[in-house]
Structure 1
Amino acid sequence: MKYKPKFSNSSTRYFQRLTQFVYIVTATNFWYRDVKLPNRFVKIYNCVSKFLEAIIIAFVITGFGASYTQKNLTHKQSTDILLKSISGFFGYTMYGFINYNKEEIKELLFSLTVSLKEICNVKIEKQMMMKIKMYMAGLMIVGCCPMAAYGVEGAFHTLTSNATFTTVIPIWPDLEDRRLVAGFARILIYIVWLLLFAHAMAVYSLIICISICLGYQFANLYEYFLDLNNIFDGEDNHEDQEKKYEEAIKVGIKMHNIILRCVNQLQSSCKVVYGGQILINVCVMVLLMVQMMQTDRSLVQLAPIVFMATGILVTSGLFIWSAGDITFEAERLPTAMFHSGWHNCRRQSYVRVRKLITFAMIQAQHVVVIKGLGVIELSYDSYIAIVKSSYSVFSIIY
């Protein structure tokens, strides 16, 4: 057998490090145990984080007000205020909702890293970790590039055209205010914007990793049921083989129920996140296309737009693809149950096992799907439709 009970695995250690990273960024512990950091640091950081959260919330709330306090804005600058205010509002709302449901996330992580490790396929585990690391590398690269590009653009204009360093147009100071305190305030605003972005990236990392892990739990269970047929290839007494098979089937059904419960927990705790990401994708892509029409075709001005568009498309893709994989893997499970070897049982054992398999297959044939905005089924096809809808809205406006 390729399965090891309570296997101390790399995914458990990875999620522990991931939640520790999320805590350092957001001061919220999503792990079901205390964070492994010095107690003095945790106490001080919890106090400091409250002050930082208040600043970030004030930044998000006042973002839309810049349109009224700033005068003589260009069309691109007006669009830029709307773009960053919308993305910041949705991004922090998503974090706030996840923070509100952190106990449910903790329970979900406990199920993924403890309860579902009663059976663990080492090969599937390695494939899952490889995919998680690949997705996280892509997320970090495409996520950090837009922030760096906006910072470089602001510094470039400051050095070449004597403009003020402006990455996010704030409610204060005025764009033409050249006092030292105004310059210092703009740098602080850029740092606060980076903190807000870090909150969003932390939420993205956590939810995408959980979605990937859930998809591979179905893949793990698929291999588990197929492998049960090998029980009857041994030299044991046939009655002993039947008992072993029957117990293994019960374990598989129990694991399937736990996975389905985890999917429901993911849907309920992250429904705002999935819906918010769809809205961010459509709204931001439309505004970026508008900006593309309004801006000069210079490399410095195009780079932030291109990087932001790439970041939004890739981030939405990682969200939707990982959720769609759950549906794909779940659909394969009834086939594995049918080919698990139940036909090798005889007499009363055959009757009992057939009832178990029938019940399990009926349950597994129910479509498992993650939805955004309550109606959009997240899959590879829906991702294409969402991307196309952004251009459709833009084409109607222009």
Structure 2
Amino acid sequence: MKDYEILKNYCKKIFLFGSGNYWYEDGAIGDDSSWYYQLYLWSLIFIYVFMTIFETMAVTIGDYPENETGDAITFSVSHTIVLLKIFSLLINKKLIRTTNRNMVEICEAYEEPTLMAEKYKYIKINVMGYFGIVYCTCLFYVVEGIRKVYAGSHFETVVTYPPSYVDESLFAGLIRVSTTIVLLIMMITMIVAVDTFTMAYLIMFKYKFITLRHYLERLAEDFYKMNDVNPRLAADKLTDGVVEGIIMHKELLRLAKDIDQAFGTVIALQLCLSSGSAVTLLLQIALTPMTFVAILKNILFVVSLFFLLGLFLCNAGEITYQASLLPDALFYCGWHACVWQPPRRSVRRLVLLACAQAQQPLVMKAFKMIQLSYGTFLQVLRGTYSVFALFYAQTK
């Protein structure tokens, strides 16, 4: 499946779940400027915002048991960051539309069906894995809420204020059930419109560099085959091919800046969320008496946070790695075997300039300062554990 189909299907689902139209073709998906769609979009955001405010009120002025206070802190911080990620994409909607067009068009003529099938399979596996972990976590929160009912308490998943902990009225029960439903809907918006959309972009961008490298390798193969028959024609085609490769590489570098501007905030916020929330959740597990189900829900929450962060940082690190392979592919394109050089267009000079540019490391960054790489992921893991160990030691 090509990038056009992948991105269009994504934008259709994003539009369906009320986060706007990010597709660059007018009228192909829907009109997100109509009054009824704007009502739909801002009603969802209004509900998400007010639930987050009520979660924050539960932390600041509510009187709850220790485990529910911990859940309120975790959700208030997590949902605040989720809202910031949603708003960051809404603000950059125009840029994302342009970036969608560029992502589709760059290297499109040289995409290989087998490589595109591999890319689609890779995206699909990652999306399904993340979706499964998130909703498995939500399931354990619901199961824990039901267990509380059988234990003589009330149903609780998302801790908000109102209602208070001692309020057992029907209205309070309806609020608790409603916030659970809102949580499940909010997770769909988060997964489809923000997290997996960003992840798919990084994977597709990585495969753009693989496509360019394969193009350069095929260019060398075609040159060597033709050079024995017609050296002059082989040199002309090699020169044209190298120029085309240089143009595609420059377009990819410009696209990298657009991706950084459009999605860098999402990745940076996820980095903060994964580290901060993980420390809170681990401290809850270590210091607060919990049931087996409550421990599982917290562990799954931590796993989902770091699973997504790993998808972001490792795919961004893979972009850096794939980009670093281009200089070799350019250098071995066959320029040294050219017995004839086109006038005013020396393939040797072109390859020299292209290699010099390709050797500059392409490192994806968040906020233009946080490097997105395998090393950063490992540093976050070690840093999170160090902070947890420090706080845990102080409580002993």
Deviations 1:91-120 (A, max 9, x none): 110111111111111111111112330321
Comparing 42-51 with 379-388, greater Cα deviation is found at 42-51
Q: Which residue is equivalent to 1:396? A: 390
Contact 2:21-2:32 at 8 Å conserved across structures: no
Deviation at 1:60, TM superposition (A): 2.2
RMSD: 2.1
Tell me: CA distance 1:11–1:380, structure 2 relative to 1, closer, same or farther (3 Å). same
TM-score (norm 1): 0.92
Q: Which residue is equivalent to 2:337? A: 344
Contact 1:20-1:35 at 8 Å conserved across structures: no
Q: Which residue is equivalent to 2:379? A: 385
Q: Which residue is equivalent to 1:169? A: 159
AA aligned opposite 1:182: A
Tell me: CA distance 1:204–1:38, structure 2 relative to 1, closer, same or farther (3 Å). closer
Deviation at 1:66, TM superposition (A): 1.0
Instruction: Indicate yes or no: 2:95 matched with 1:104.
Output: yes
Deviations 1:216-252 (A, max 9, x none): 1111111111111122303753222222111111111
AA aligned opposite 1:367: P
Q: Which residue is equivalent to 1:52? A: 44
Which stretches in structure 2 are left out of the alignment for 5+ residues?
Answer: none
Q: Which residue is equivalent to 2:84? A: 93
Distance 1:49 1:277 in 2: 23
Tell me: CA distance 1:211–1:298, structure 2 relative to 1, closer, same or farther (3 Å). same
Contact 1:292-1:305 at 8 Å conserved across structures: yes
Match of 1:178 among 152, 168, 172: 168
AA aligned opposite 2:181: I
TM-score (norm 2): 0.92
Question: What SS does the corresponding residue of 1:348 show, helix, strand or coil?
Answer: coil
Distance 2:253 2:218 in 1: 21
Question: What SS does the corresponding residue of 2:342 show, helix, strand or coil?
Answer: helix
Question: What SS does the corresponding residue of 1:349 show, helix, strand or coil?
Answer: coil
Match of 2:20 among 13, 28, 39: 28
| Aligned-pair identity (%) | 24
Tell me: CA distance 1:274–1:41, structure 2 relative to 1, closer, same or farther (3 Å). closer
Tell me: CA distance 1:163–1:45, structure 2 relative to 1, closer, same or farther (3 Å). farther
Instruction: Indicate yes or no: 2:322 matched with 1:305.
Output: no
Question: What SS does the corresponding residue of 2:341 show, helix, strand or coil?
Answer: helix
Match of 1:316 among 302, 309, 332: 309
AA aligned opposite 1:196: M
Comparing 230-239 with 56-65, greater Cα deviation is found at 230-239
Comparing 54-63 with 38-47, greater Cα deviation is found at 38-47
Tell me: CA distance 1:42–1:304, structure 2 relative to 1, closer, same or farther (3 Å). farther
Deviation at 1:57, TM superposition (A): 1.6
Instruction: Indicate yes or no: 2:190 matched with 1:196.
Output: no
Q: Which residue is equivalent to 1:3? A: none
Comparing 211-220 with 160-169, greater Cα deviation is found at 160-169
Deviation at 1:43, TM superposition (A): 6.0
Question: What SS does the corresponding residue of 1:366 show, helix, strand or coil?
Answer: coil
Q: Which residue is equivalent to 1:293? A: 286
Q: Which residue is equivalent to 1:131? A: 122
Distance 2:365 2:67 in 1: 34
Contact 1:166-1:175 at 8 Å conserved across structures: no
